[in-house]
Amino acid sequence: MKPNEIKHFDHIVIGSGLAGLTSAWHLAKSGRTVAVFTKRAIDECNSRCAQGGVACVMDNSDTFDEHVQDTLTAGAGMCDENAVRTIVEAGPEAIREIIALGAKFTTRGELGHTDHPEDFDLGREGGHHKRRVLHAGDITGAELERAMVEAVSKLPNVTIFENHIAIDLVVSARLAIPGANRCFGAYILNTVTGEIFTTLAATTTVACGGAGKVYLYTSNPDIACGSGVAMGYRAGAKIANMEFIQFHPTVLYHPTIRSFLISEALRGEGAVLKCRPRPNAEPVEFMHKYHPMKSLAPRDVVARAIDSEMKRTGEECVYLDIRHHSEETLRRRFPNIFAKCLEAEVNMAHELIPVVPAAHFVCGGIKTDVAGNTSITGLYAVGECACTGLHGANRLASNSLLEAMVVPRFAAEDIEHKMHFYKSTLPDEKAALNWTTGNATDSDELVLISHNWDEIRRFMWDYVGIYRTDKRLERAKNRIKLIRKEIEKYYWDFTVTADLVELRNISTVAELVIDSSLKRKESRGLHYNADYPYLDPEMECVDTIIQRHVGGSR
């Protein structure tokens, strides 16, 4: 199906999470037109699910140097120190900015503290040596997203397209336009009408979020299919460090309540991880065997420790014990988590919370600098789909919301500085229409989509999860090669639907994770390969880069 219409804007933003809306807000300040495309409702995103908070130096007892050091330590020798420092030092201004837009963070007074009640209540999470996590109860992401939705919705030069999914990027390499690869916009599917159209713009910002749905068990919502990374790869952008997939250690273990994250902030308030040493025995602490910070160790350490204990004991979950706090305190500090646990028939003030690890955050992504510049001219990437160098081999808790607020401002400043060039190098419209998705015939084999979707997620969990080996990775590689061939043939033969676009993206991201994991012959941060259970000093700060050669109309 060929796109049958062209829409023009100065800027395109793909994704409506915190990074996407912050990008739109900053870009719109110049008075230029901005389009925001989001595959479902504007506030349906990963950002809204974030419970913990924003890591930021806001207390006189804390310093930028300490925040930087905690980030570098968690990142296991893979962070870009300059990027870390730049983002960390820009944090307070980003906090002031979003507060001015209406976001509200919890204060000490709201939690009943009488000393300095007007100060922010700063939490502590795994890997942090100081209390520096601002939060809005235990729904921080939802509060920040609310504030940005309200702010962006008031801007007359921003157009929001809900229920629109980006299929591919418009790039010069695909259109056979000579010169350096340049992004001119995107091909968009209206999921309500089925119409496909082309959107051209001076710049395109990809802010599509994470890829948790590549795995069977995840804390992410259904929309997290890795579309930004997949589109960037197909367009020829450099993709970095996709082997570093963070598994959140504590997702609620329950037969019907899925993907509900139990925030690391509980451990910051003293919750302790416990496991039954044998069936029917009383659960006991175990993290002292794995790390000196015990239950507050970095997430990669905690996730592997839980996985190890579950395999050693044969138990299906471990437990969080926060019973040292009163019910009144827990209801006030963690109202959303408390309510969800009650729904699971667990009163966390009196009972242990059953938890398991689940895929949570992608530390790799489209390779960018701290201003969101990718290897494709005119294409920017922000948020979880980008790899700025902040997170390294393991993300420090609550640094992601910080990055989502800081990098879009840098990107908008960079774009405005280069705007004359971007406006003067747009392609001929006819060239942009030289693209097709296939024959547009209806399919009677929709079972292929659901079957391949389930198979990819299951073998990614089994073979490319917390614990990897070369043999497991090779098995996964063999399977994904076959499935990708099936999907590509299906894609070019039948009508494009949202499900098919997401399946195509999931398969692309899965192969990128597998290939990146096969390239790294060591264990570092979130990537643990039992065949190489050691750090290779020569691999420190060496990115795993994968880039596709692009040419032709596809």
Helices (H), 314-394: 327-333, 335-343
> Which residue matches tokens 């960037």?
232
Distance of CA 532 to the CA centre of its chain: 27
Distance, in Å, from the CA atom of 2 to the CA atom of 110, rounded to the nearest integer, reads 56
Classify residue 434 by burial, with Cβ atoms within 10 Å: 0-12, 13-18, 19+. Answer: middle
Angle at alpha carbon of residue 255, lines to 254 and 257, rounded to 5°: 60
For 222, residues 6+ apart whose C-beta sits below 8 A from its C-beta are: 213
Q: What was the pLDDT predicted at 488?
A: 81
pLDDT along the chain (554 residues), means of 10: 82 98 98 97 91 94 98 97 98 98 96 92 93 95 97 98 97 88 96 94 97 94 96 98 96 92 93 95 97 91 92 94 97 96 98 96 98 98 98 95 98 98 85 65 66 94 94 98 87 78 96 98 96 97 96 52
Distance, in Å, from the CA atom of 332 to the CA atom of 477, rounded to the nearest integer, reads 47
Residue 299 appears among annotated catalytic residues: yes
Q: Are 259 and 218 in contact (CB under 8 A)?
A: yes
Q: How many CB atoms lie within 10 A of CB 116?
A: 11
Q: What was the pLDDT predicted at 446?
A: 66
Distance of CA 202 to the CA centre of its chain: 26
For 352, residues 6+ apart whose C-beta sits below 8 A from its C-beta are: 274, 283, 319, 320, 321, 323, 346
Q: Are 184 and 134 in contact (CB under 8 A)?
A: no
For 231, 381, 387, 416, the CA distances from 408, given in Å and listed in that order, are: 19, 9, 13, 12
Point out the catalytic residue in the list 174, 182, 267, 299: 299
Distance, in Å, from the CA atom of 11 to the CA atom of 183, rounded to the nearest integer, reads 11
Structure tokens belonging to residue 222: 């259904």
pTM of the model: 0.93
Q: What was the pLDDT predicted at 440?
A: 45
Q: What was the pLDDT predicted at 354?
A: 97
For 552, residues 6+ apart whose C-beta sits below 8 A from its C-beta are: 174, 176
Q: What was the pLDDT predicted at 336?
A: 95
Distance, in Å, from the CA atom of 440 to the CA atom of 152, rounded to the nearest integer, reads 36
